């Protein structure tokens, strides 16, 4: 749903051709919001969430 409504604010983390995490960022005028952000449990602790957040 988020990817369809705002593809520019949609971020994906991939490993081996599979999506292991995602994040969404939106702007409402001068307000910016980040989230939700999620990383699959088996991919956690390897920096995917950090890279999504930094992007």
Instruction: For the chain, 55 residues long, give each residue's pLDDT as a single digit of tens.
Output: 667 766 678 899 999 999 999 999 888 889 988 889 999 999 999 999 999 999 8
The CB-based long-range contact list for 41-45 (8 Å cut-off, 24+ gap) reads 43/13, 43/15
Specify the pTM: 0.78
pLDDT of residue 21: 96
pLDDT of residue 9: 81
Rounded-to-integer distance, Cα 27 and Cα 42, Å: 31
Task: Indicate the domain borders of the chain.
Answer: 2-54
pLDDT of residue 23: 94
Q: 2-54 belongs to which homologous superfamily?
A: Gcn5-related N-acetyltransferase (GNAT) (3.40.630.30)
């Amino acid at each position: 749903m988020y990817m369809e409504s705002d593809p520019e604010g949609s971020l994906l983390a991939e490993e081996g051709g599979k999506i292991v995490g995602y994040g969404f960022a939106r702007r409402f005028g001068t307000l910016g919001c980040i989230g939700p952000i999620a990383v699959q449990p088996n991919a956690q602790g390897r920096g995917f969430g950090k890279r999504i957040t930094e992007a």
